């Protein structure tokens, strides 16, 4: 089957020694992050799932709307979809690509590399958003403790842009 050929080619290039599960999945570690590829013969697709990073609990309510906004029409995600698992606070990225017997192995590996590169960029962005959200929370707490008037705090909220990356 084509998916075995692709995995063989990935193993040649990387030396990883990946093996497909009975259900058509394979996982590996890339830049200290989990990656899962699932080949679905019925749909003729390969789903690539890449873990990006964890969000601090205090950053979730600030960062998640920005991630949803980036997903809109895939306008900022190069065709990937950002996702969030609340049980672990993990932000991940998912890609779905056509995959069939006609898929060229070299082309698929290029597609995989592109997906991993996009995920690398988003890992940096999400880490920055998380850090900025936590700095904002700290600033708000500082203002509260020091008796900064509410309208000054609201001005800070209104002018802060978490998507200035």
Integer CA distances (angstroms), 151 to 135, 138, 156, 160, in order: 19, 17, 9, 14
pLDDT tens digits along 6-41: 999 999 999 999 999 999 999 999 999 999 999 998
First vs last C-alpha separation in the chain: 42
Supply the pLDDT for residue 98: 94
pTM listed for this prediction: 0.84
Q: For residues 82 and 63, give the distance between their C-alpha atoms in angstroms, rounded to a whole number.
A: 12
Note the residue count of the chain. Answer: 165
pLDDT under 50: residue ranges of the chain: 152-153, 155-160, 162-165
State whether CATH 1.10.10.10 applies to domain 2-134.
Answer: no
Domain ranges for the chain, please list them.
2-134
Supply the pLDDT for residue 150: 58
Supply the pLDDT for residue 141: 83
């Amino acid at each position: 089957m084509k998916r075995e050929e692709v995995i063989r080619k990935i193993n040649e290039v990387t030396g990883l020694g990946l093996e497909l599960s009975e259900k058509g999945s394979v996982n590996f570690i890339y830049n200290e992050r989990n990656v899962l590829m699932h080949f679905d013969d019925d749909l003729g697709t390969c789903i690539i799932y890449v873990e990006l990073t964890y969000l601090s609990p205090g950053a979730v309510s600030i960062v998640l709307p920005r991630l949803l906004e980036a997903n809109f029409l895939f306008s900022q995600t190069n065709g990937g979809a950002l996702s969030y698992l609340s049980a672990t606070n993990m932000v991940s990225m998912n890609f779905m690509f056509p995959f069939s017997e006609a898929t060229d192995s070299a082309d698929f590996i290029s597609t995989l590399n592109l997906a991993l590169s996009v995920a690398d960029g988003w890992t940096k962005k999400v880490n920055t958003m998380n850090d900025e959200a936590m700095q904002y929370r700290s600033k708000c707490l500082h203002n509260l403790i020091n008796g900064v008037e509410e309208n000054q705090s609201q001005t800070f909220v209104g002018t802060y842009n978490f998507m200035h990356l």
